[in-house]
Chains A and B, each alone.
With several copies, the nearest count.
Chain A
Amino acid sequence: MMNSDSPAGAGISSGFDVAAIRQDFPALQRTVNEFPLVYFDNTAATLKPRQVIDCITRVYSDFPANVHRGIHMLSEEATNAYEETREKLARFINAASSDEIIYTLNTTDSINHVCGSWGEANIGPGDEIIVTDMEHHANFVPWQQLCKRKGARLQVVGVLGSGQLNREEFDRKLSERTKLVAVAHVSNVSGVVNPIPELARQAHAVGAMFVADCAQSVPHMPIDVQTLGADFIAFSAYKMLAPFGVGILWGRRALLDAMPPYRTGGNMIAEVSREDTRFNVTPHKFEAGTPSIADVIATGAAIDYLEALGMDAIYNHEKKISRYLHERLAALPGLRIIGDYFEGKPAIASFHLDYAHPHDIAQFLNEEGVAVRSGLHCAEPLHNALGLNSSTRASLYLYNTNEEIDRLVAAIETVAEIFA
């Protein structure tokens, strides 16, 4: 019903046609200081194709109504499109049922749901929760604060010089006391891909729950929750071509069914009296109040777009530009990348320069039209562990090219000129 145009880059004969894909993204037409924009801040948020933008316009022009099966036509159209995205998301990550897909505000909100619902109900004094030094604050602070509230203990597993998780330390810290393990699938700083299936198997062996922060994996590689092994995964739609305002929490149906709701209010109830409330079923009992309806519907258009290109093809393209990115950066004097390159590394490179501070680097890169992030990237424990104050991060996505990487390298050379 809300099916969108195919992406231009999905032509039959063209393979993965980046030039055609780029035509779909209006922001790529922009110039910064007269330079065409090079957008390398995809870890923070991706650009949006016109298919997604048009979908939002269509929703607000044609059926800007509330959902929940209102009987009038506009509400019915909105409800159908809204629930259709749930089916698409379920297919996209191979969930057993669309009832396992819960819409939230963002990844942070998704993780707070697990923490505030499952965590509040199941964590007590003496229990332990394992996280890692490479977590985004979204998958670190909630668990740390839960432990403080409950008298439980946060066990933080460190990273090796290579950027990889210290598996030996993980094995050591995992114990019968461990009640939950929360690990990023892909680090938003080092691009390290953690072996979730193995870690989850180990966690399950000691009876612990496993939460995977998939904010940086779902947009970039094929994900199948049936084989991933986690009990819950969290990700954000706006990091995969979709609008802001939609996070996704996937969880195993039986777990979700047994969990109390996180927020309460309208639409998540079955029956309310003065004395008590019976809650609705999964997933609705977790969706209190009016959701980001148009953003959810346009998330469906984003999934259509990604599926038309194919997640395998997208990941292949990313691997290629990632290799080139790392080669070019590694050749620059005074530049060090956080974490060793490995085959299949997502196209994320966070680096530091001997001679300049990340904020100054980002400032000069912007001057040359290259958009990167500088700072802690919401990953202060990792920077602490590495003895870094901050870093500069270039993160690429399906529309980025080697020519743009050349622009980045040339811009860094300008920084070197100024600061050297």
Chain B
Amino acid sequence: MDLKTLYREVILDHYKQPRNTAELRNPNREAKCRNPSCGDKISVQLSIEDGRVTDVAMLGNGCAISQASASMMTEAVKGRSIEDVEAVMAEFSEMIVKGSPDFDRARLGDLVIMEGVARLHARVRCAMCGWSALEAALHDPGAEINLDNEDGMPASSRG
């Protein structure tokens, strides 16, 4: 898929109309992720009940890839069990960060259309921003994660 097609068919829809952007009233988990290369920030809020993500919101702004990826993320995790969410996170990271072809396509579902981002190495950070916030919300609630400058992996430095 060439870049224009990737943007036109996948990214722009979510960029222009990102899903789940209404602030939650009573989130019980929340975290932020910041991309130091552009200063963009995404916050993720979760409502978790009985081991299940009953509601999710992503707030903040950024480039089309980070917004689209975070928006798709909210759709992918809403209503899922935490176990499922963890598994999806792992597969998404395998696809985007490792750029490995060996991820579980079935588990990723619609997210597979983001595969083309893996070859845009400098944009891996963008694609991971919302996901890193999600991961922090689950494992280190309240954290403000910085994406590492070089390899797009979430870094543990806190404010």
Contact = CB atoms under 8 A, between A and B. Distances in A.
A167 B92 CA distance: 51
A357 interface: yes
A155 interface: no
A76 B146 contact: no
A231 B46 CA distance: 41
Interface in A48-84: 67-71, 75-76, 79-80, 83
Nearest to B126: A359
Given A79-B150, A281-B156, A360 B64 contact: yes
A279 interface: yes
Contacts of B61: 389
B12 interface: yes
Nearest to B155: A281
Contacts of A360: 7, 63-65
A281 B146 CA distance: 9
Interface string B31-57: 000101111100000000000000000
Interface residues of A, number: 36
B123 interface: yes
Contacts of B122: 69-71, 75-76, 79, 359
Interface string B91-133: 0000000000000000000000000000011110110000000
Contacts of B126: 359
Contacts of B159: 278
A357 B39 CA distance: 12
A132 to B, nearest CB: 19
Contacts of A80: 121
Interface residues of B, number: 32
B152 to A, nearest CB: 8
B150 A390 contact: no
A384 to B, nearest CB: 8
B150 A389 contact: no
Contacts of B8: 418
B148 interface: yes
A386 B140 CA distance: 33
A192 to B, nearest CB: 21
A75 B150 CA distance: 12
B4 interface: yes
B3 A390 contact: no
B157 interface: yes
A285 to B, nearest CB: 9
B3 A281 contact: no
A69 B126 CA distance: 12
B3 A363 contact: yes
A278 B147 CA distance: 12
Contact of A375 (B12, B38, B148, B157): B38
B7 A418 contact: yes
Interface in A265-284: 267, 269-271, 278-281, 284
Contacts of A359: 37-38, 63, 65, 122-123, 126
A79 B152 CA distance: 12
Given A70-B122, A364-B3, A418-B8, A278 B40 contact: no
Given A280-B148, A284-B149, A357 B63 contact: yes
B62 interface: yes
A374 B63 CA distance: 11
A396 interface: no
A224 interface: no
Given A71-B122, A79-B121, A376 B38 contact: yes
Interface in A154-206: none
B63 A69 contact: no
Contacts of B64: 356-357, 360, 419
B151 interface: yes
Contacts of B146: 270-271, 278, 280-281
A367 interface: yes
B64 to A, nearest CB: 5
A70 to B, nearest CB: 7
B150 A83 contact: yes
B120 A363 contact: yes
A20 B34 CA distance: 45
A358 interface: yes
Contacts of B12: 418-419
A83 B122 CA distance: 13
Interface of B: 3-4, 7-8, 12, 34, 36-40, 61-65, 120-123, 125-126, 146, 148-152, 155-157, 159
16 contacts: A69-B121, A270-B34, A270-B36, A271-B39, A280-B36, A280-B146, A281-B156, A357-B38, A357-B63, A360-B7, A360-B64, A363-B3, A376-B39, A390-B37, A390-B40, A418-B4
